[in-house]
Homo-oligomer: A and B are copies of this chain.
């Protein structure tokens, strides 16, 4: 015999830019969220069409037609460059905003906006009207590096080498020849090479704010998978760190969305979940003490929509785990 009951007053939220991969993921999370409801979803090219997300009919409207007053908070998944103006409009109308674009992130000339790595900036996020939701690569790399910075493990002046690989949803769903199945399948390649990827500034600015004295070298790659980012990070340390796992575990103690594990994480372990899974180990047989950090996330969940909902939960005073798949 069992029994359960719900009495829920749901909080209305909107989504700008709901037709991309991150926007759809957001709508699905909101539709399945026990304390949020979808007030509107904008998609300019598909305005006037209805789609089904998580069993619920969603009508896309143009962004300029969005009934802003019907929502308490809005997520913007608009493209980089196009997002900022709508974030400003929503903010000026009194809404709280989680911006998934890069427009307001560190290194892009917009200071004073909390950078929503929730585990790191929980306090600022809770009180903020606007939060800049981190990029997918930065989430996977900065959360992996944060304990090394806070524990002052990194050898001053050293170079952190990051090789990362992302599934194709990271590149969006605009039709481009190089993203066709016949092109991506059975292939693997680097892109945005030579420290030119637009996420690099975001990571450097953040590491600098955190007081890290190290260079960052970042090479992203395109994987023949739909979802997931794996980052492979080499960090020279001032002293040998015999048991780095315990350091990372202590740093993230009690965090529901951080998993420190004893073997290399796989994309399979994290897809469709709002977690970051990490493995840290000392490298054998190197003259300078060096750590290897491997981190895996789902680029659309912990790397985008999931972390955005996590931030919204914090901003709205909800349990941070509500509506999020672990």
**Using an 8 Å CB-CB cutoff, how does the interface string of A1-43 with B read, 1 for contact, 0 for none?**
1111111111000000000010000000000001100000000
A292-B221 contact in complex given A159-B236, A187-B268, A234-B161, C-beta closer than 8 Å: no
| Cβ proximity bits A202-227 to B, threshold 8 Å, 1 near / 0 not | 00000000000001010101011111
Which bucket holds chain A's interface residue count? 35 or more
From 33 to 69 in chain A, residues with beta carbon under 8 angstroms from any chain B beta carbon are 34-35, 55
Q: Which B residue's beta carbon lies closest to that of A178? A: B175
Least CB separation from A214: chain B residue: B287
Cβ contact within 8 Å between B221 and A230: yes
In the complex, A214→B268 CA distance in Å?
35
A169-B182 contact, Cβ under 8 Å, with A234-B217, A267-B188, A283-B194: yes
CA distance A210 to B326 in the complex (A): 44
Interface set of A (CB-CB < 8 Å, partner B): 1-10, 21, 34-35, 55, 157, 159, 161, 163, 165, 167-169, 173-177, 179-191, 193-196, 200, 215, 217, 219, 221, 223-228, 230, 232, 234, 236, 264-268, 271, 279, 281-288, 290, 292, 294, 296, 326
